[in-house]
Amino acid sequence: MAIGGELHSDEDAALIEHGSAQADLWGINLYPAEQGEAWLEFDSMINVRPSQGNRSRNVEDGALRELIRQIVTALVTG
């Protein structure tokens, strides 16, 4: 997970440079002051991947969104 880049594409490039596969990287926005599910938003240009069946800025697969939510929650909350 990478945070703090100016653009999601900057973080994407940094993770790929360190060995991550682009197909495994998804862009999200974090809003720590929000409660419930609103603290995590699945909106990013790096998510537009017609070759992977994702045709919008959102992560369209519900199971994948839930997996991302679980991973990010574990990493952020410790």
The overall longest dimension of the chain from CA atoms, in Å, is 35
Question: What's the pLDDT at 78?
Answer: 73
Mean pLDDT for all residues in the chain: 95
Confidence of residue 5 (pLDDT cuts 50, 70, 90): confident
What share of the chain in percent tops pLDDT 90?
90
pLDDT mean over 14-43: 95
Confidence of residue 40 (pLDDT cuts 50, 70, 90): very high
pLDDT mean over 50-65: 97
Dist. CA 42–CA 58, nearest whole Å: 5
Whether residue 7 has pLDDT greater than 80: yes
Label residue 74 exposed, middle or buried (CB < 10 Å: 0-12, 13-18, 19+). exposed
